[in-house]
Amino acid sequence: MSAPAEGTRAIEVQDLHKHFGDHKVLNGIDFHVDAGEVVCVIGPSGSGKSTLLRCVNRLEQPTSGTVLVEGVDVTSPETDLNKIRSRIGMVFQQFNLFPHMSVLRNLTIAQQRVLKRNRGEADGIARANLERVGLGDRADAYPAQLSGGQQQRVAIARALSMEPDMMLFDEPTSALDPELVGDVLDVMRSLASEGMTMMVVTHEMGFAREVGDKLVFMDEGIIIEEGAPRDVLSSPQHQRTQAFLSKVL
């Protein structure tokens, strides 16, 4: 399969199970993200949000079930995993920038190694993406010289430099000092308004309400409830959702 057919979903998860030994973390997840959609995932700690996200680009190997990305089964051994991954940007809670490389090199290394872009082209794309996250002047800095918020914006720019079709965010603001959260959310907000397909695990209910097209509530490895963020947040149907929201809102 080459270009995704019209109507193919960006991400489609069917009956996904993930066990770590005896520990059953995901217990039958059915779920999808359409192209251009922003889906936010919330739920208590340990409910399997990160695991679900990591199954999408197969950083975690599902125990059973299907994960389709643009119609391609990522769990199939025939799939070119690296190619699929290069089309899925991922942003981690702990940034995971490469500390031994300059900001610019962080953004160009995978462009050159994976997409085989030449140095000049990769540099141009990297600089444009640094501008986009408001860090055009920090290309030559090293990650350790940046604040957490700046590092996370560099991490977003690094993912964007691959020109991915979709972005996965795993609690991108949870490791940040409160005053630095806003800048990162602003970048994500503008990405969403540009039509980027996004799956965002977050505790930022304000962001979910304002930016999300869909909100998914998970607990104990299953999806308890999903719907328009406004509806789920203001009138949760399920008792477990109510209990969770009453704690965090």
Partner 1 sequence: MTKANRQRLRDAVLYALLLGVVVLLAFAADWPVIQENFLNQEVLRTLWPEIITVAAKNTIVYTAISFAGGLVLGVVLALMKLSPVTPYRWLATAWIEFFRGLPALVVIIGFALAVPIAFNWQPPGGLVGAGVLALVIVSSAYMAETIRSGIQAVPPGQVEAAHSLGMSGSWTMVSVVLPQAFRIIIPPLTNEFVLLLKDTSLLAIVGAATDDRELTTFGRDSVSENFNSSPLLAVALLYLVITLPLTRLVAYLEKRSMVKAR
Ligand X SMILES: Nc1ncnc2c1ncn2[C@@H]1O[C@H](COP(=O)(O)OP(=O)(O)OP(=O)(O)O)[C@@H](O)[C@H]1O
Under rule CB under 6 A, which residues in 45-84 are in contact with ligand X?
45-51
56 binds, among Mg ion, ligand X, partner 1, none (CB under 5 to 8 A by kind): none
DSSP assignment of the chain equals: --SPPTT--SEEEEEEEEEETTEEEEEEEEEEE-TT-EEEEE--TTSSHHHHHHHHTTSS--SEEEEEETTEETTSTTS-HHHHHHTEEEE-TT----TTS-HHHHHHHHHHHTS---HHHHHHHHHHHHHHTT-GGGTTS-GGGS-HHHHHHHHHHHHHTT--SEEEEESTTTTS-HHHHHHHHHHHHHHHHTT-EEEEE-S-HHHHHHH-SEEEEEETTEEEEEE-HHHHHHS--SHHHHHHHHHH-
Contact letters (x/-) for ligand X, 9-28, by CB under 6 A? -----------x--x-x---
Contact partner, 13, from ligand X, partner 1, Mg ion, none, Cβ < 5-8 Å per class: none
Of residues 145-204, which lie at the interface with partner 1 (CB under 8 A)? 155, 158-159, 162
Residue nearest Mg ion by beta-carbon distance: 50
What is the closest distance, in whole angstroms, from the C-beta atom of residue 171 to Mg ion in the complex?
Answer: 6
Closest CB to partner 1 among residues 63, 93: 93
* Among the listed residues 50, 108, 129, 152, the single contact to Mg ion using CB under 5 A: 50
Residue type, 200: V
User: Which listed range, 9-17, 39-47, 175-183, 236-244, lies at the site for ligand X (CB under 6 A)?
Assistant: 39-47
Nearest to ligand X by Cβ — which residue?
Answer: 50
| 105-124 binders of partner 1 (CB under 8 A) | 109-110, 113-115
Residues lying near ligand X in the complex (CB under 6 A) are found at 20, 23, 25, 43, 45-51
